Amino acid sequence: MKRRTRIRYTDAQKALMWDRWRKGESLHQIARLFDRHHSSVRGILAETGGIRPPPRRRSARALSLAEREQVSRALASGQSVRCIAAALGRAPSTISREIQRNGGAERYRACDADQAAWERARRPKTCKLALHPKLAKRVADKLQQQWSPQQIAGWLMLTYPNDATYQVSHETIYRTLFIQSRGALKKELLEHLRRTRAMRRSRHHTQKTADHGRISDTVSIRERPADVEDRAVPGHWEGDLLFGSGNSQIATLVERSTRYVMLVKVERKDTKTVVDALIKHARQLPNELYQSLTWDRGKELADHRRFTLATDIQVYFCDPQSPWQRGSNENTNGLLRQYFPKGIDVSGFSQAQLNEVARRLNERPRKTLGFETPIERYRQAVALTS
């Protein structure tokens, strides 16, 4: 097989790669633009962990290529350093250093000197986590507990409000993980993120648009009362099934106001089994804290009327292809993937084990709660109803 010559991508081509990557296109789609294998594109994007580097600009104080060409011509004609400096309006020391660092007067070449100066100008700023090892250790410890970078950043701000050395933004944590040249956090910590990919992907790449089927006699989410919409009153839940391999699944429930999570073991995904499990679970909660349930269009809740008759809990359904309408549950299911990764059989988990996972998740601080925990908010709601 004939080997293709190695391609060196121009700045314009790299900019096109980053634009397409940001739009959510795959490596294969981007590579087809250049008639290349996806690995050649991956090499460019993976260098900075899938995060677009800021555009580089030359300093206004640095010598330009035109000035270096003038230096080269002047040296060839035998002019002195001071004469060259005077003609360019530069200090003699500037011209002297320029010549000496690029091979001396006899070997000086303008294009080579200009390229060398551009490479030497790379001075990446040391990131905060590399400057503060104790802070990096706290961040690493929390990542190992499956805390998200945003939760860590918010917790640090609450815990050390007057100590800037123990505060760091979630974006800095992400960049330090994805850009390994920063050297402050080990690459293995990526395994503890909700999404365990090695490079940052565009949010457009991961949008869920699948249709989960149609159900008759549904009550639309648009008919929910206003106090459900604004999350002012606790007791309104969002639910869905979290699937594993081997046709296994778990029912996940999230309270909209407190973000409190409960997991329900479900043996099968047929509507009778799922509805029976949800009815049994609903009877464990006070009526005041379980007034409505919003579900996706999954057929596992086709028998929703039986659920409502048995519990007096109204079920609302999202619009077709609109899982984002129960965003709290979608977000929570993403968090749960840290405990139940895709591809594992979840049928082997007992209800006690599911309760333990829910407890761990409910003890993690949430940005939307001002970095309080769901368990704290839920206990406040229980106190108000008792």
> Which of these ranges, 96-105, 178-187, 279-288, 371-380, has the smallest mean pLDDT?
178-187
Centre a 10 Å sphere on the Cβ of residue 255 and count the other Cβ atoms it contains. Answer: 23
Over residues 238-254, mean pLDDT: 92
Q: What fold is seen in the domain 221-385?
A: Nucleotidyltransferase; domain 5 (3.30.420)
Q: Where are the alpha helices (DSSP H) in 123-225?
A: 128-131, 133-144, 149-159, 170-178
pLDDT value of position 207: 45
Does residue 209 surpass a pLDDT of 50? Answer: no
pLDDT value of position 350: 94
Q: What residues does each domain of the chain span?
A: 11-46, 65-120, 128-206, 221-385
Q: Using one digit for the tens of pLDDT, what is the confidence trace for 120-164?
A: 877 667 788 888 889 989 999 999 898 989 999 999 999 999 998
Does residue 43 surpass a pLDDT of 60? Answer: yes
Distance of CA 42 to the CA centre of its chain: 18
Over residues 163-181, mean pLDDT: 85
List the one residue out of 287, 286, 253, 247 whose CA is nearest residue 269: 247
Phi-psi sector, 235: left (phi>0), alpha (psi -120 to 50), beta: left
* Phi and psi, residue 91, nearest 5°: -70, 145
In angstroms, the Cα distances linking 299 to 171, 178, 215, 247, 272 are 39, 39, 6, 15, 11
> Which of these ranges, 127-136, 173-182, 257-266, 314-323, has the smallest mean pLDDT?
173-182
pLDDT value of position 214: 59
Does residue 253 surpass a pLDDT of 90? Answer: yes
> Which of these ranges, 73-77, 110-114, 119-123, has the smallest mean pLDDT?
119-123
Q: Is 48 helix (H, G, I), strand (E, B) or coil?
A: coil
